[in-house]
A = this chain, B = another copy of it.
Amino acid sequence: MKMGELGRTVNLGVIGVGGRGWGQVEVLAQMKDVCIKVICDKHQDRVDNLIEYLHKENLVDYPIDGTLVDEEVLCRDDIEAVVIMSDWETHIDLAIRAMRHGKYVAMEVGGAASVNECWEMVRTAQQTGLDVMLLENCCYNNEEMALLNMVRAGVFGEIVHCKGGYQHDLRDEIGWGDENRHYRLHNFLNRNGELYPTHEMGPIAKYLDLNYGNRMVSLVSMASKAVGMNDYLRRERPDCAHANATFREGDIVTTMIKCANGETIVLTHDCTLPRPYSRGGHIQGTRGLWQEDNRRIYIEGEASEVIDGWLHVGVDDKEWMDKYKSDLWKEYEEFGLRGGHGGMDYLVFRGFIEALQQKTHFPIDVYDTAAWMAITALSEDSIANGSMPVAFPDFTDGKWMLRKDEAVGPYKLGK
């Protein structure tokens, strides 16, 4: 389907319209083959204000219902899918209930609270014949897609090691917490693990063909002490309720993952110390290396400079990113970028909508969703047991070995 071409109308219900959900509804509203039938949130003002805004700004020309009761969304007959953008810990339960009501699911990112809820989601998808797509926008980012092209073209040789992180100074947002009605605060106060793995893990999973000929087999995590939030709040908001609270979430949580094909992955969760934003991308193989933090690529015999006769360094990655730009992004740039986060929010939604229209399974499917989200629960288990390794569940029940040709959309293998 050409970009901008309209398919049949997809009727949706939306649950959760806080900061993220609000912005995402604006992205959906501009799609002329999408109809948002109902918007749900636990706060009445959010529902009312968003519906009023959509009409006032002429972003939609159809009526939208509002409700405080998620079950009223899930049981509607006039929608085929639900978009879940509520608190992290409600995602999987809502996804399961939506499928039981016969609805497909798109779900904003976050981590799982237990491995069991991931299994339950997978089993429900299998039993209902439905599917869940994690809206991992970073899988659709220009650079990550160019890197996937490079990986598949063999630029880095055989891939051996990948790194990534969610390295985002969120002290202010976490600190506002309940006053801001944001779910991060209670997670950082109560949990200790890799709370938000998917922005880096999603693209890495695609580089390594996880669930499509490869899988994660074990995981181990370690957490540093937690001193960043208190240091910040005592200075910036000394009178707030949790300035001296005990935060359980270590400031830096590092997670190592081993894959069936022998690759290792290192993830870093880093949200409560001052730092520039970075997803800390790193792809390394037998022929070369790419690193996000210095925006350099180093390819044996190709992208390499020698300084002072001995110091081998890489080159700026820009030319390589352009050379390996994905077909999707070439088309997208011609079409015109839209939506949040540099355009990737729009693309990930189009991946979801077009899979529904074309009746393919999702480019990020329930097995991917379960595996990526399970990292959070597994990392909590590992840390709780003093950095014991934990076995990684195979949510495909062995089918990962035979699914090589099942990847769809931009992730189709051999493309």
Chain A residues near B (Cβ < 8 Å): 157-158, 160-161, 169, 218, 220, 222-225, 227-228, 231-232, 250-252, 254, 256, 258, 261-264, 266, 270, 273-277, 284-289, 291, 293-294, 298-300, 311-314, 386-389
Knowing A169-B312, A225-B263, A254-B264, say if A289 contacts B277 (CB, 8 Å): no
Q: Which residues of B contact A298 (CB under 8 A)?
A: 274-276
Compute how far the CA of A120 lies from the CA of B121 in the bound complex, rounded to whole angstroms. 54
Query: Which B-chain residue is minimally distant from A386 (CB atoms)?
Result: B389
Q: Which residues of B contact A218 (CB under 8 A)?
A: 386-387
Compute how far the CA of A261 lies from the CA of B227 in the bound complex, rounded to whole angstroms. 11
**Shortest distance from the beta carbon of A38 to any chain B beta carbon, whole Å:** 33
Q: Which residues of B contact A275 (CB under 8 A)?
A: 284, 288-289, 298
Q: Which residues of B contact A276 (CB under 8 A)?
A: 289, 298, 311-314
Query: Which B-chain residue is minimally distant from A220 (CB atoms)?
Result: B387
Q: Which of B158, B224, B270 contacts A227 (CB 8 A)?
A: B158
**Can you give 23 contacting A-B residue pairs, CB < 8 Å?**
A158-B231, A160-B224, A160-B252, A161-B251, A220-B256, A222-B258, A224-B263, A224-B264, A225-B261, A225-B263, A228-B286, A251-B286, A266-B266, A274-B298, A274-B300, A275-B284, A275-B289, A276-B298, A276-B311, A276-B314, A277-B312, A293-B293, A293-B294
Q: Which residues of B contact A261 (CB under 8 A)?
A: 225
Q: Which residues of B contact A293 (CB under 8 A)?
A: 291, 293-294
Compute how far the CA of A403 lies from the CA of B227 in the bound complex, rounded to whole angstroms. 25
Q: Which of B157, B220, B250, B266 contacts A231 (CB 8 A)?
A: B157
Compute how far the CA of A263 lies from the CA of B169 in the bound complex, rounded to whole angstroms. 19
**Shortest distance from the beta carbon of A237 to any chain B beta carbon, whole Å:** 15
Compute how far the CA of A277 lies from the CA of B312 in the bound complex, rounded to whole angstroms. 7
Query: Which B-chain residue is minimally distant from A293 (CB atoms)?
Result: B294
Is the Cβ of A160 less than 8 Å from the Cβ of B225? yes
Q: List the 10 closest pairs (A to B, CB-CB), nearest first.
A: A225-B262, A274-B300, A231-B286, A224-B264, A161-B252, A294-B294, A222-B256, A387-B389, A160-B251, A276-B313
Q: Which of B220, B252, B285 contacts A284 (CB 8 A)?
A: B252
Q: Which residues of B contact A224 (CB under 8 A)?
A: 160-161, 262-264
Q: Which residues of B contact A274 (CB under 8 A)?
A: 286-289, 298-300
Known: A225-B263, A291-B293. 13 other contacts (CB 8 A): A157-B231, A158-B231, A220-B256, A220-B387, A250-B264, A251-B286, A254-B264, A266-B266, A275-B289, A276-B312, A277-B311, A293-B294, A386-B389
Q: Which residues of B contact A286 (CB under 8 A)?
A: 227-228, 231-232, 251, 273-274
Q: Which of B252, B264, B388 contacts A252 (CB 8 A)?
A: B264
**Shortest distance from the beta carbon of A68 to any chain B beta carbon, whole Å:** 33
Is the Cβ of A273 less than 8 Å from the Cβ of B256? no
Compute how far the CA of A227 lies from the CA of B284 in the bound complex, rounded to whole angstroms. 12
